[in-house]
Structures are given as structure tokens and as C-alpha cells.
Amino acid sequence: MPPLPAPDDSRPVPGLAVSIVVPTLREAENLPALARRIEAALSGRGLEWELVLVDDDSRDGIEAVAGELARCLPVRLDVRRDSPRDLSRSVLRGIEISRFDRIVVMDADLSHPPARIPDLVQALDGECDMAVGSRYAPGGRIGRGWGLRRFLNSYGATLLARPLADCADPLSGFFALDRRSLPDLGELRPIGYKIGLEIMVRGRLRVAEVPIEFADRSRGSSKMDLRQQARYLRHLKRLYLHRFGDLARVLSFGMVGASGFVVDLVFYLGLQALGMEHHLARFWSFWPAVSWNWWLNRRVTFDERPWQPPARQWARFAIASLVGLGVNVGSYLVLTSFVDIFIRHPFYAFLLGIVLGGIINFLVSTLYVYRRHSGPNREVAATPPVGGR
């Protein structure tokens, strides 16, 4: 069965009406229960509603399921066949084709309670632009299916996003907003699945929170994996750059450098454990640390910069690291030889050398290694804008 067509009149409809946008990827088996729960939550409330399903070309029979639901409920399906598969793009596509100005976004896995949809919509009548179904606001809960590892993973990711928004649960995928409060969709550049965070940060939206109980999925499998977590970190870095400017890039560069120190230390001690003399171990441990820092900075700190041939860029980063190391060690030697306070307290010179070397390394990396302009055939790593298609 082909995708269900959109209604002829796709203009926003004023009044008590809401479009519920649900992105899907292999979630066909959950849709009948989801649609029934939404109908039960909204019937008798005086709300006109529609359920807009945007599928990432699952090929799991969703067309037939949606067609059957559409016989008795206001359900529409749009299958997004353009690559890549991406939850955020599916949500934005759903917003584009929705009929009503009031829009609720939720997952298809039955983890978000449809009974709270009226509360989210009602919250938009207050002094906010976006209402978030929150697990971590007072009164919010997480279902018993979560183990300690999953909770720590989720809460840790949430803490990383907290400085970006005045919201206890900025990563929630269950939220309501008014189309008229949205930023230009062409300005959004989400990576992965946290479209709510993207919208609230780039749109500078005022957020209200509605406590919910977040249930664990009972059918299907989670799409969360290490690749999605890596994409989240890249997305987070871009939002920090948008919110805080180059201060965020300096912080990212410093965190990469700290992780490189761990790599350096592991190889330094490991090579000695294998019998290598400590001077040689110190020489050889430097190179895997440099390689790690180069790769991680390329993927995270400077991921929106033009990509260059790896071998050439690695060599440039190695040079930058050696220059930084030279400034680090050189400043230490000079300060502990000629400046009285550092002669008496060489550890201060050690710390200052690290700072000076790091600054030089950052400047050389920014202006030379990962510079904004390479050659005419450069490949730009930045994510293309979404929306406005």
C-alpha cells in the first residue's frame, strides 16, 4: 500500500487542535496501541487532533498498519526515503507537514504517556514557548525496567546538556510547542536524535516542564548504540559552540588533551612493563597519544571544519604538538633557571608550562592543522541544514 496522502488543505488550523508527530523506525507493531492510547487521552477533551507518522523507510509493514488505523482515526503516514536515516530529520519533516500550529512530538515505543498530552498542550497557554515531558522534574519518574547502568548513562548525558538550557530534562523526546515560536527550520543542524534540545537551544525557547512517568519499551528494540552516543557528543559540542562560542572549543580541545594524557600514560607504563627502557618508552608513548588527539579533535573539536587528507593533517598535528611540547618544556627550563618564585616552586613552572604549551598547541591547531580553508576539492564535514525542502 502506498503512503497515505496528506490532506489537500495543509495550512495550520487555528483553535483547539494539535498535531502529534511520531518519528518511526521499525516500530509498526507499537502503532495500534499508541494510536488507541492517544485517542483515549484526547477523546472528550474538545481537541481536534491528528497523528502524523514519519517513517525512516522501515519496510516493516507500516504502510498497511497506518492504512488500517486511518480507517477510523485521523492518522497520516509520510515515508522519508531520502538518506540518511535520522530521527531529527523525521521530526522536522513531521512539523513541516502538520496541519495545526500546536504540535506534540513523542516516541513510538510507548515510553511516553499519551495521557499527558493535554497537560503539555495546556502548558503552552502559560509563559513558555515549549513544554517538555520531564523525567527529572519534581514528580517525574522512570519505570522499573531501567537498570543502574542505563540510568547513569541517561543522567550523565543529561548533566552534560544542562548548561545549555534551563530545564531539568533537556534531552526529553516528549514535548509540545507552537509552530509560531519555532526558529527557521533551515537554521537547524541536528545530529542524531535530540531534536528537542536542538530546537530549545537554537530557538532560545522558554521551557516549562510537565512531570511524566517514563516507561520502558515492551516491544521492539532500542536504536541507541555507541554510534548514536558518539553523534550525541558531536551534537552537544556544536550546541556549546553556538551557545558559548570559542570558549566551548577551548574546553573541547582541553578535554581531548586530557584523554590523550591518559593514552600517553598507558603506553608509557605498558612499554616499560614489557621491558623497554624508560627513555625509549617516553619517546614512543608520545606518538599514539598524538594520533589519538588528532583523530578525536578531527571528529569532535573541529568536526565542522574542512576535512583534509589524513596523513598530511596528522603530520601537521604532530608538528603542532611538538611545538606545544617545546614551549611547555622550554618555559619550564627558563622559569626554573631565572625566575626566583619558580626556582623555589618548580611545580608552578610545571603547571604554567602545560598551560602555555596547550595555548600554543590550540592556536596552531586552529589556524594551521584544522584551518577553515584547505583546497578547492575539500570535503566539508558540517551537517547540511535541515528543513525548507
Gap between the Cα atoms of 54 and 61, Å rounded:
14
Neighbouring residues of 196: CB distance < 8 A, sequence distance ≥ 6: 105, 130, 132, 170, 171, 172, 173, 175
- For residue 380, name the pLDDT band (cuts at 50, 70, 90): very low
Gap between the Cα atoms of 354 and 352, Å rounded:
5
Q: What value does the mean pLDDT take over residues 122-137?
A: 93
Fill in the amino acid letter for 29: E
Does pTM surpass 0.75?
A: no
Residue 289 pLDDT exceeds 70:
yes
Residue 6 pLDDT exceeds 60:
no
Would you state the pLDDT for residue 53?
A: 97
Q: What is the per-residue pLDDT across 63-113, written as a single tens digit (0 to 9) for each?
A: 999 999 999 999 999 999 887 788 889 999 999 999 999 999 999 999 999
Q: What is the per-residue pLDDT across 195-232, written as a single tens digit (0 to 9) for each?
A: 999 999 999 999 999 999 998 766 655 555 677 777 88
Residue 7 pLDDT exceeds 80:
no
Q: What value does the mean pLDDT take over residues 167-173?
A: 93
Residue 365 pLDDT exceeds 80:
yes
Residue 13 pLDDT exceeds 70:
no
Residue length, the chain? 389
Pairing of strands 130-134, 141-142: unpaired
Fill in the amino acid letter for 361: N
All three cell numbers of 343:
626556582
- Out of 31-40, 162-171, 297-306, 363-372, pick the least confident: 297-306
Helix or strand run (H / E) with residue 371? none
Would you state the pLDDT for residue 303?
A: 83
Question: What string of DSSP letters covers 320-366?
Answer: HHHHHHHHHHHHHHHHHHH-HHHHH-HHHHHHHHHHHHHHHHHHHII
- Percent of the chain's residues with pLDDT above 90: 53
- Out of 112-116, 134-138, 344-348, pick the least confident: 344-348
Pairing of strands 48-55, 17-24: parallel
Contact 28, 55 (CB under 8 A): no
Q: What value does the mean pLDDT take over residues 51-60?
A: 93
Residue 41 pLDDT exceeds 70:
yes
Angle at the Cα of 328 from the Cα atoms of 323 and 329, rounded to 5 degrees: 100
Would you state the pLDDT for residue 220?
A: 54
Contact 237, 301 (CB under 8 A): yes
- For residue 1, name the pLDDT band (cuts at 50, 70, 90): very low
- For residue 379, name the pLDDT band (cuts at 50, 70, 90): very low
- Residue written as cell 535520522? 86
Would you state the pLDDT for residue 105?
A: 97
Would you state the pLDDT for residue 19?
A: 97
Residue 353 pLDDT exceeds 70:
yes
Would you state the pLDDT for residue 341?
A: 93
All three cell numbers of 309:
587528507
Q: What value does the mean pLDDT take over residues 16-34?
A: 94
Sign of CA pseudo-dihedral 233, 236, 242, 243: negative
Would you state the pLDDT for residue 359?
A: 92
Would you state the pLDDT for residue 389?
A: 36
> What percentage of the chain's residues is helix, strand, coil (to nearest 5)?
50, 15, 35
Residue 325 pLDDT exceeds 50:
yes
Gap between the Cα atoms of 345 and 60, Å rounded:
68
Would you state the pLDDT for residue 194?
A: 87
Secondary structure tally for the chain: helices H, strands E: 12, 11
End-to-end Cα distance, the chain = 25
Residue 388 pLDDT exceeds 50:
no
- For residue 382, name the pLDDT band (cuts at 50, 70, 90): very low
Question: What string of DSSP letters covers 196-241?
Answer: HHHHHHHTT--EEEEE-EEPPPSSS-----HHHHHHHHHHHHHHHH
Mean of per-residue pLDDT scores for the chain: 85
3-class secondary-structure state, position 77: strand
Would you state the pLDDT for residue 229?
A: 79
Residue 179 pLDDT exceeds 80:
yes
